[in-house]
Structure 1
Amino acid sequence: MKKKMISFASLGLVCATFFLSCETNNQAEEEQLDLALETPDKIISNTQAATLFQNDQNTRLAQIGKSRMSFEDKAIHFDLATLTAYINRLESMAVSKNIPITGASFVFGADANGKRTAFLMPSTRNASLDYQESFTIENGEFLTFKHVDPSLKLQNSSQNDENLILSPNGYLSFNEATNMFNNYQTQYISTFAKKVTKDYYTKAVWYSLEEFKDYFAYLQKKSKDHNLAITGVDVFFGVYNNDPSLELKSNAQTLFMSASTQQQTIINIKGKPLKQFTEEGFFAKNGDENTSGSLSFNEGQLSPPPPICNHSTCSAFKCKYVE
């Protein structure tokens, strides 16, 4: 009888161990699943973020005599709460005003002193040109902001009464945004075009409303889980590698976003500063290609669209929308 009791006890111990093991495995699988579900598709690795940043320095700023620009002058800072409220407002406006808002674009700009910036505008799909076209509303009038044009014309009267163009320093009117857009064309695109001939010069980067929301929620969760005190998003100009496999994105200008505290830009859950990561050059030697702990976001849709000529809008076989 004693032997049987020992046997049953042993069996119970085995069963307990088995179920504990199953529970541990299930818990690990659930944690992996949660991690996969919470990580946005367009999160990029620390190395990718640093490479984009350095490519911009080497292939753009150095080409036009602006290589001495400080790291701080390259960061375009947005408050996270403001960005979240802005995207939520666009989502509500799409319903309340029955506007097919597809997302928002960071449109490239430069101030009067030549410092690069970017401002956010709501976008809707232009079916005829097949790209995401930015717009705003002023005095009840729907105004498009055509990235395909080399420069834009000012309105006779312009005021930001709907607050739809968000800059790092507050909301802009159509004319204020137009001046910045035209400044970027003059000081960066036209200057670069004299050095390097390209068929396509990026002027904006688009993300869907859902992509913005997923990324902001991801940052808020990581901030809470890892005690990072993330308060904002820093936007940086970047350039893709000169790799033919990237096709239209090869050597193209882009923007990428990274988490920001009140003190610095951080690119992973360990709080690694982007500035330190790029200055050390570690990414070039033995970089971190793992995206699981990254806080950077890219792979936006570049705009205006690459030139696809069907000769219906061309003059002398030169596309109307190619700069």
Structure 2
Amino acid sequence: MPSKRGPAAASPTLEQERQAYRDMLLIRRFEEKAGQMYGMGLIGGFCHLYIGQEAVVVGMQMAAKQGDQVITGYRDHGHMLACGMDPKGVMAELTGRRGGLSKGKGGSMHMFSVEKHFYGGHGIVGAQVSLGTGLAFANRYRGNDNVSMTYFGDGAANQGQVYESFNMAELWKLPVVYVIENNRYAMGTSVSRASAQTDFSKRGISFNIPGEQVDGMDFRAVYAAAQRAIQWCRDGKGPYILEMQTYRYRGHSMSDPAKYRSKDEVQKMREERDPIEQVRRRLLDEWKVSEDELKALDARCREIVNEAAEFATHDPEPDVSELWTDILK
């Protein structure tokens, strides 16, 4: 199957570009604050930041409709915010508080919202791919036209259960978009050293699943590809693979110094390919949005994040009785 750009899709409007800028900026500011709070000891356990990858989930969500599901791995804060989950609830979950979206018991990697059709961050590498395929099976079984957007990384793409899921999805024509967030280094090993086939859009060839490579640093490219892939699934044609070529600025997790790449490489990506800066420049140069308006958007995002941090710092911890709830017996 081809690994090429598909038919044209609608370009984003001014309002969509403005919304994308705001949504990506909120994720960036939230993750920056989470990193600070982790350093202060307010967030325990693991914490994987999404800084640099914001265009992927924002572009995908803009092409989705109410009822479409999202499931991802443990780098999940950005996905939750893009799905419309309350920043206070997300941050409170990071700090293990009662008002967290999993009642303070899931932490950074395990959050959930039935209301927002977000079926989790998952700590087991690749586990969400099977579950996301199951969500698509449920859609087909129920006869609705919802699509499961199943996110995983370049490292998880080498897991066996991914290919079992691919086979089932194509065999039964399940409405699932497999979004491979290729940030180049998995947990710390470059793609070229870990994968025999580094074009992840081709990973579905043996199952007849079409795929395409997408510039995951460009919101417009993501949005266009998302429209094509989601429509393919809604039309009953089965699964679709999108390889998002993206980049994380921070280490794999907060405990990773990322010594496997140079500071110059990261700086070059920040200066030349930053997803938020690309939209900002278009808003200023092409759409003639004022600098003051963009500064106001940034100020509002910082205010929202600060309010979330304040809530997450002072909200009570869960009652001890919560240890016995939500347990499968």
| TM-score, normalization by structure 2 | 0.24
Q: Higher strand proportion, which one?
A: 1
Give the TM-score, by structure 1 length. Answer: 0.24
Bigger proportion of residues as helix: 2
